[in-house]
Chain A
Amino acid sequence: MSLQLERVGRTFAGKAAVQDVSFRAEPGEIIGLLGTSGCGKSTLLRAISGLDTEFDGLIEINNKKVDDIQKTTGFMFQEPRLLPWLNVLDNVTFGLEGNREEKKKKAGRYLESVGLADSEKLYPKQLSGGMAQRVAIARALATSPEILLLDEPFSALDAFTKMQLQDLLLEVWRSYQSTMVLVTHDVDEAAYLCDRIIVLRGQPGKVEREITITEPRPRERGSSEQAAYKAEILASLDLTTDTA
């Protein structure tokens, strides 16, 4: 499904959080939203998801204006947001339809790929932060949404798990050709996963640059091409003076 934003902005109580954001995502494209914290990335995702309808501008999915929640859109929130009264398995099956056995099988598959096959019976209170986030990823992927919104999905994970799950995300993307909008802080992640990166800056956040990554997949994490893209992204964020 294609996704189009035209001059989208959002104002909270007279104060603009994000302004004038336009971009188009073709079906199956992975768009990265990159920017410092507070520049309105989560706000944009909420507008696309239909949870927030008070934004300015126009958002279209498949060239049809949306101002409501779409069943075909999946959202992985910045926090895991697991339902505390359901165990891990039931949390993953929460949004699935069909008979119980099928749901369990499907959820089990995704739990296995996030490395939690033997934690099915645990309750959220028994999970570490990273485990909870992996359950949330399994839950978001299990419904195989046509548009998948991901708000810093891997931020609470260690480097190894993070790489593993990035590859899982790409695997899901290959089978379902979901259109994805991925919010991230992580320059490596953006360069590795995205087809296009929209760099937001400032408060209110505005589009600073759009960087297209033409490198074909599978990409190699340490390659010189990746390094060049990362340098370009970093330069556009203009963080060099801060991080030095």
Chain B
Amino acid sequence: MAKNQSEVSGVFTTGSKSQPSTIKPKSPFTHPLLLGSIFPALLVVVWELLSRSEVFPAYQLPAPSVILETIVGMAEDGTLWGHVGITFYRVLMGFLLGTAAAVVLGSLVGFYKHAEALFDPLIQAFRSIPSLAWVPLFILWMGIGEPSKIAMIAVGVFFPVYLNIVSGISGVDRKLIEVGKMYGLNTFQLVRRIILPAALPSFLVGLRSGLGLGWMFVVAAELMGASQGLGYLLVVGQNTLAPETIIASIVLFAVIGKLSDWVLKKLETRTLHWQDRAAKS
């Protein structure tokens, strides 16, 4: 009976940890990677067929194979790495800067009532300004070069990280703090041994949504004026009437955006393995 059940659940669930992996016959047909690829693969095939039979005109929507050729071509003549590299650099710098500012301000506001009264209203007011509205001002202040772009991305990253740090710290279970107090921990020890680990999940959620916004803002920054980068490729594609360049750039954005999120997600599952979360089946 028990064996039977484990087989049944092996078919319908993808990763239940409670059963030893040796007796669980994992069906290759329900692997998440496979399930997730069904629709994209289908879409690409249909698209390719429709483009080849010229249902979509090539000057509007070129076939996937043409887009792949464009990317391969850029890789071969070496321009691809410059574009990807500079865009990645901007996002990384903006992300680090925005996160650093958010950690400092978020911790202050999370820990100290007075800091909350002092900073939070202002930060909340700034939050209601759509961040892209800063673009002209930043360009005016810092010119069209790297600083204004990185500053913009940092602004985009700042808010989600800040908000999640504040809510993470103020949401720590009072009961756990009491446990620490009973063992005579001082404020510093309480922060290190209880508040930080308890606020970590929320912080990581903030990092991931911050990174997502970082990718959004780099597009805006590069569209405004750049001589290199994936966003610049979008502009080039538009000006030279080359949809394959535009779509190639979009695909590259998707791939490296996903990759960077995957890195954070790995970090999350590694550090938060203790969390008691519902497993989907």
Query: Which residues of A in the span 64-88 have a Cβ within 8 Å of any Cβ on B?
Result: 69, 71, 73-75, 77, 79, 81, 83-86
Q: Does any Cβ of B come within 8 Å of A179's Cβ?
A: no
User: A125 and B178: CB pair below 8 A?
Assistant: no
**B182 in contact with A49 (CB, 8 Å):** yes
- Among the listed A51, A94, A125, which residue makes an inter-chain contact with B274, where contact means beta carbons less than 8 Å apart? A125
Within 8 Å by CB of B198, from A73, A77, A85, A95, lies A85
User: Are A143 and B181 neighbours in the complex by a CB distance under 8 Å?
Assistant: no
Instruction: Give Cα A79–Cα B179 distance, bound, in whole angstroms.
Output: 11
Binary contact track A32-73/B, C-beta < 8 Å → 1, others 0:
000000000000000001010000000000000000010101
Contact with B along A93-106 (1 / 0, CB 8 A): 01100000000000
Closest to A87 in B: B274
Q: From residue A78, how far is it (CB to closest CB) to chain B in Å?
A: 10
Q: Is the pair A69, B197 in contact by a Cβ cutoff of 8 Å?
A: no
Out of B176, B182, B193, name the residue touching A75 (CB < 8 Å).
B182
State whether A83 touches B179 (Cβ < 8 A).
yes
CA separation between A124 and B197, bound complex, in Å? 15
Nearest-Cβ distance from residue A72 to partner chain B, whole angstroms: 9
A123 touches B176 (CB 8 A): no
Q: Which B residues between 32 and 78 are near A, CB-CB below 8 angstroms? A: none
**Residue in contact with B197 in the complex, picked from A75, A81, A83, A123, CB distance below 8 Å:** A83
Q: Do the beta carbons of B198 and A69 come within 8 Å of each other?
A: no
Partner of B182, one of A51, A85, A86, A124: A51
B20 proximal to A (CB < 8 A)? no
State whether A51 touches B181 (Cβ < 8 A). Answer: yes
One of B175, B176, B184 near A69 (C-beta < 8 A): B184
Determine whether the beta carbon of B184 is less than 8 Å from that of A71.
yes
Write out the residue numbers on chain A whose beta carbons fall within 8 Å of the beta carbon of B275. Answer: 84, 125
Closest to B271 in A: A85
**How far is it, in angstroms, between the C-alpha of A143 and the C-alpha of B183 when the chains are bound?**
9
Which B residues are CB-close (under 8 A) to A143?
A: 183
Considering the complex, give the chain B residue whose CB is closest to the CB of A83.
B176
Residues on A with C-beta less than 8 A from B184 are 69, 71, 95
Min distance, Cβ A96 to any Cβ of chain B, angstroms: 9
Closest A residue by C-beta to B200: A85
* B28 nearest CB across to chain A (Å): 28
Please name all residues of chain B whose beta carbon is closer than 8 Å to the beta carbon of A51 when the two chains form the complex.
Answer: 178, 181-182
Contacts known (A77-B175, A83-B194, A85-B198); A69 close to B276, Cβ less than 8 A? no
Within 8 A of A (CB), among B164-188: 175-176, 178-179, 181-184
Q: A51-B178, A77-B175, A79-B175 are in contact. Are A85 and B183 (CB under 8 A)?
A: no
Would you call A69 and B179 a contact (CB within 8 A)? Answer: no
Contacts of B181 on A, CB cut-off 8 Å? Answer: 51, 69
State which residues 251-281 of B face A: CB under 8 Å: 273-276
Q: How far is the CB of A49 from chain B (nearest CB, A)?
A: 7
Nearest chain B residue, comparing its CB with the CB of A140: B182
B199 to chain A, nearest CB (A): 11
In the complex, the 3 A-B pairs of residues with the closest C-beta atoms, listed nearest first: A125-B276, A95-B183, A71-B184
Known: A73-B182, A84-B276. 7 other contacts (CB 8 A): A49-B182, A51-B182, A69-B181, A81-B178, A81-B179, A94-B183, A95-B182
